[in-house]
Every structure is written in C-alpha cells, then in structure tokens.
Amino acid sequence: MRSIFVSAGHSNTDPGAVAFGRREADIAVEFRNMVAFYLQRAGVPHELDGNGTTNLPLREAVVRAKRHPLGVEFHCNAAAAATATGVETLSAPKDMALGAEICKAVAQALGLRNRGAKPENAGQHHRLAFVQAGGIIVELFFITNAADLAAYDARKWVAARDVAAVLTQAAKA
C-alpha cells in the first residue's frame, strides 16, 4: 500500500483567505485532521504536515510531500463574487483522475457544484509548489460563500470520510 502525505494549506503564520470570521488555514487543519482520522482507521500509512493545530509552512510541506507517492493539500477557494461556489482540484496531468474522484466525493458530500479537476495553471498561479512536489491541491469550497461555508460546517465529517475513502483506494492501487 502506498503512503499518503496529507497537508493543510497555508500555515500557522499565513491564515490564507478570511471570511465570515473564519480563517482558511484553520479550516484546512481541521479537515486534514478529519481525513487523517479516517485514514488511520483504514490502516493507510500517512504523514501529516503537523499534529493537532500545527500547520507547517509550505516550504516544509513540499519537502515532506516529495517522500510520498500520493499527496493532498486542503484549501478553501475565495472570490470577490459571493456567489462563487463549488469544489475543484489543481494537479499535474498524472493526478487528474484522482483529482476528479476527490472533487466528486466532496461535491456529493457537501451538496456543492463540482468544478472539476484542473491543471495547476488553471488558477491565479502558473506553477504551484505543492503540485510540483507531486501533490494535489483540493479547494474544498468557497470560504467567501456563506452557503458553501454552511454546507461544510453541516457535513464536513461526511466529506472527510468520503475523501479518505478515495485516498484509501488510491493507496491500494
């Protein structure tokens, strides 16, 4: 079984996007820990970018990600338009199918739009360090959309369980 690196986006010193009194980095750590709970239960070997509320900086996460054949990093999307919604992943071509499975799992669990698996240059950046290290960036939902945030709060454990199930299957492949 292949090992998985599970990372929370941003870090203890970089909060990421902030909306409705919530910090992206805090949500990412929470979701990372929930996914790790389910991976542990399934017996999947994995490493995290910190324990508890610790969230290591990207430069350290990238080093750790390179040691694993599979890696995911959780983020929240943000937009000026409060109506922007949904889940998407950013990855290298080799990880597009797994990214699509993760998108499907999160979208179904949270009842959100599936924006799909996209190449790393589909967003505001052309090259993403975590993707270059072999990982997939998961934009769970739009933190700037009150309905997306409410859906996450209501069904985050279901989403974490379903993402862990997708990762477990990938680790076994």
| AA letter at 52 | G
Distance from C-alpha of 35 to C-alpha of 121, rounded to nearest angstrom: 26
pTM to 2 decimals?
0.95
> Mean pLDDT score of the chain, rounded to an integer?
94
Task: Name the token pair of 148.
Answer: 């997306």
H-state helical runs in 23-120: 24-42, 58-65, 96-110
Q: Of the given ranges (7-21, 27-41, 101-115, 152-166), which has the lowest mean pLDDT?
A: 7-21
Predicted local distance difference test score (pLDDT) of residue 138: 97
Predicted local distance difference test score (pLDDT) of residue 129: 81
Predicted local distance difference test score (pLDDT) of residue 109: 98
Residue 159 φ then ψ, to 5°? -60, -45
For the CA atoms of 43, 47, 53, 55, the dihedral, rounded to the nearest 10 degrees, stands at: -160
* Residue 122 reports pLDDT greater than 90: no
- What is the set of domains in the chain, with CATH numbers? 4-172 (3.40.630.40)
Residue 55 banded pLDDT, cuts 50, 70, 90: confident
